[in-house]
Amino acid sequence: DGGGGGGGGGREAAAVVPRPSHSLGRGLLTHRSLDALPAFGITTRPVAEPDLSDLDATSVVFGRIRPTTDSDAFLNIVVDLPTYSTDRPTTSADAPRSEAERAAETAAAKVFAVQREFFRGAARTFGDTRLDKVYEGKLLRRVEVVKAGML
């Protein structure tokens, strides 16, 4: 073997630690990758595919809210805050509608999606960076954390 023993120059191989996933449930503290600002998000529900791959690729889980009665009450309040959505507003799923109304709503949703993608693409072409700060589920109201502590 050429005499020297371990072949690694005396260094141990670094253990690869898997990144925590957003699938772990609600109350996770998450930060958008490459965002220099100290802003962070809190998950209010478990995330499933296809959103999971996107969220895990763009954000990092760095902690979790300690599960207590108070934190559960806080999460229940936060989950009801209005958020940004890229979907077209529709009537309630349990509202009675005729077949023609459902067909019209489906067609309107498709037109809305095409228009949305056209205008978002045009904005990117013109260098509008505001779209980078808008994502599905973003709170429409500012939430301030006034007290935090170490776990």
- Residue 27 belongs to a domain: yes
Based on the fold, state whether residues 33 and 76 are members of the same structural domain.
yes
73 with 114, same domain: the answer is: no
Each residue of 73-95: pLDDT tens digit? 888 888 877 766 666 555 555 66
Average pLDDT over residues 4-25: 66
13 part of a folded domain: no
pLDDT-based confidence at 1, cuts 50/70/90? very low
- What's the mean pLDDT when you consider all of the chain? 74
Question: CA-to-CA distance for 3 and 37, rounded, in angstroms?
Answer: 52
Q: What is the value of pTM for the model shown?
A: 0.48
CA distance 95 to 97: 6
With 80 as the cut, is the pLDDT of residue 137 above it?
no
Between CA 19 and CA 61 the distance in angstroms is 8
pLDDT above 80 for 57:
yes
Average pLDDT (6-24) is 67
Residues 37 and 64 placed together within one structural domain of the fold = yes
Tell me, yes or no, whether 76 and 109 share the same domain: no
Task: Choose one of 36, 52, 80: the last residue of a domain.
Answer: 80
Based on the fold, state whether residues 51 and 28 are members of the same structural domain.
yes
- pLDDT of 132 higher than 50: yes
Mark whether 27 and 69 lie in a shared domain: yes
Sorted by sequence, the CB contacts under 8 Å of residue 83 that are 6+ apart come out as: 136, 137, 138, 139, 140
Higher pLDDT, 124 or 135: 124
- My answer on whether 64 and 28 are in the same domain is yes
Residues 73 and 106 in one domain: no
- The verdict on 76 and 25 lying in the same domain is yes
Structural domain boundaries, residue 74? 19-80
